[in-house]
A and B are shown apart, each in its own frame.
Chain A
Amino acid sequence: MKENIVEFKNISIDYPMKKYTLRAVNNVSLNVKRGKITALVGESGSGKTTLSSSLIRCISEPGIIAEGEVIFNSNDGSLINVEKLKEKELRSFRWEKVSMVFQAAQSALNPVLTVRQQFYETLDEHGIKLTKEEKEAKCLKILDFVKLDSKRVIDCYPHELSGGMKQRVMIAFSLLLDPEVIILDEPTTALDVITQHYIFNLLKEINKTMNISMLLMTHDISVVASFADYIAVMYGGRVMEYGSVEEVFKNKLHPYTKGLINATPSIIGNIDDVRPIDGRPPNMLDLPKGCVFSDRCPFAKDICKEKEPETLYKEDGSFIKCHLFLGGEDNGK
């Protein structure tokens, strides 16, 4: 069994428009480790949602994968090239191998169906032959697992549930077909802090006990610090830095990662060290020449404004995309 459950290989995703083409994701290579939680961090428009939706091939219209491929190494040892799946195979691939928890739980659930109806429908759709009792037992079990009052909740309509409960129903829903990977798209953005804490504890438990790998998209770096194992920082459609959470937070190598961590106020420690990143988020249609972060980077050198940096891989699989760490001493001035 390979260590990486998902491998994004040189993926570029384009959005062809009438007059121009928007490249939302540019030549990204990234591995998602089996059984771990990998966080994709980035601001709006950094391409994190686009990248992760390429894993279940549901990039929003009119986006297309221009280059590269997504490889899925299933737990049973088979190797799946997501790009080459046929329609029918894709349908079973989604949810049976990779499922997703959406940001807006309220709009992801069908308002006119009860939780039970929606769960059963998905089971039927995927051709899982179970008796009525088995189905009910399965649904109740996963609802119990997400710490909901399963007997009551299963016959509720979505509007009868609170925001936190809906999000937990969504998590249960994503577990329904025993997937190997769950994509979490800002799962707690609309929820308050205490609910967020519970949801992440729950997800971590699922990750540990069921050995499900997770791909978490978020803009909140504090969540990543307390929850994820690996972090990939995205900016302007590129992954700027990737590594284990401990290493990345300890070293704060990439200027953007550093800026992002420094721009996040905390409830402990000194607040005087906190400062924003200058400038404004990149316009994807008019990216700076050279390194995409060069116009906001306090350490930018001449070469940063001319040439896009190569990716520097380290032995432990982590990488960084920045001129400051390329080419050694002679480039350092």
Chain B
Amino acid sequence: MENKTPLLSLKNINMVFKKPGSLLKDQYIHVLRDISLDIYAGEIIALVGESGCGKTTLGKIITGLYKPTSGEIYFEGNKVSGIFDKKVTSFNEIQFIQQDSYAALNPVRTIYQSLYAPIKNKHKKWSKKEVDAKIEELMQIIGLYPSEQYLSKYPHQLSGGQRQRILMARAISLEPKLIVADEPVSMIDVSLRLSILNLMKELNEKLKMSFVYISHDLSTSRYFAANGKVAVMYLGEIVELGQIADVISHPSHPYTRALVQAVPVPDPTYKGADELPLKSMQLGSLEDRTEGCSFKERCLYCTSECNKKQTYQSSKTAQVLCCNLSTVLDKDK
């Protein structure tokens, strides 16, 4: 695995948004800071973090909707400048599934129209019959059949779960190698969430598609990315990256620890922690950040070391961005 070229490789990605401030001085918000991430073919990576930690921005950079302020993106070893660069191999190889299935489909176009256009756009020589056959095949894969029943409908006539499946069909219609799924199940009824996740798992196994699963929910991430990795994000940085099973059972970074403990467990006999290992519940601000650790205000293990620039260190299970890792790990014993 180590010797293979990653499917997608992000190197030191920074993202700065300009926020119109006062007349004289614009404010700059450092949304992503020094993100490096490798995604291999057929792999599932869960991006987990609080709202505002930059996980959606990172997803949009991967799909090419945003251009990073600095940093490099390599697709199968080739440098990529942006999705609108047709010469690049990543053309149409990365697709995006959004959170709100209602907003992701044009309300005035039928499902058929929404599915037909991208396929025809990619395969300009295909006749209508060929495209129709492809659509039929997609509807079989996502489990909506007989397909005529759904194709002639408008988005508002379908249920949330069905719309999410349509989004899935649209994403795989261009046979991408990587799908970025931004909270794909957070707006879906509980009883249907798993079936959507199962469908994505199936696509991952059968079609060997890689997935980047963006979510704030560790439980569904654990289910979906069972054999994959997790990248825990905090204020625009990946603070911990490792196999998801290990990270959840033995979290290293102080933030990951708090996050894991905060997740409610569907079992009343389970006794979770009453107090989270955090100094305050207040999420730090992205504005006026200093060089040092972004988590230091909330961290129980904070020392003067934390004001320096952070580097990644290895714990037994993961890459961790924390200066006092050894102290943190020692406290366990």
Contact = CB atoms under 8 A, between A and B. Distances in A.
Direct A–B contact in the complex, CB atoms closer than 8 angstroms: yes
Interface of A: 43-44, 162-164, 191-198, 200-201, 219-223, 225-227, 245-246, 249-250, 259-261, 263-269, 271, 274-277, 280-281
Nearest to B248: A267
The 4 A-B pairs at the shortest CB distance, nearest first, are namely A276-B194, A265-B223, A197-B262, A222-B264
Interface string B218-257: 1110110010000000000000000000001000000000
12 contacts: A44-B189, A194-B259, A194-B278, A195-B50, A198-B276, A225-B268, A264-B190, A265-B219, A265-B222, A280-B159, A280-B161, A280-B162
Contact of A268 (B159, B195, B220, B265): B265
Contacts of B248: 267
Interface string B59-102: 00000000000000000000000000000000000000000000
Q: Which residue among A194, A250, A274 has the maximum number of chain B CB atoms within 10 Å of its CB? A: A194
Nearest to B285: A162
B132 interface: no
B330 interface: no
B269 A266 contact: no
B281 A263 contact: no
A197 B276 contact: yes
Contacts of B222: 265-267, 271
B219 A266 contact: yes
B272 interface: yes
B216 A264 contact: no
A265 B248 CA distance: 13
A264 B198 contact: no
Given A274-B194, A280-B161, A246 B269 contact: yes
Given A245-B268, A271-B223, A281 B263 contact: no
A245 B159 CA distance: 31
A269 B269 CA distance: 13
B283 interface: yes
B307 interface: no
Contacts of A44: 189
A193 B263 contact: yes
A246 B50 contact: no
B265 A226 contact: yes
Given A222-B219, A225-B267, A227-B264, A193 B189 contact: no
B189 A43 contact: yes
B266 interface: yes
Contacts of B223: 265, 271, 274
A277 B193 CA distance: 9
A44 B248 CA distance: 30
Given A193-B218, A267-B218, 6 more contacts: A164-B282, A193-B216, A194-B259, A219-B190, A265-B194, A280-B159
A69 B51 CA distance: 42
Pick the most buried of A196, A275, A276: most chain B CB atoms within 10 A of its CB: A276
Given A197-B262, A197-B276, A267-B248, A192 B218 contact: no
Counting chain A CB atoms within 10 Å of each CB, the highest count among B50, B219, B265, B266 belongs to B266
Contact of B191 (A222, A223, A259): A259
Nearest to B274: A201
Contacts of B192: 276-277, 280-281
A226 B266 CA distance: 7
A266 B189 contact: no
B251 to A, nearest CB: 10
Contacts of B282: 162, 164
Contacts of B328: none
A196 B261 CA distance: 12
A164 B194 contact: no
B34 interface: no
A16 to B, nearest CB: 22
* Most-contacted residue by chain B among A246, A250, A275, A280 (CB, 10 A): A280
A163 B136 CA distance: 44
B216 A192 contact: yes
Contacts of B269: 246, 249-250
A261 B268 contact: no
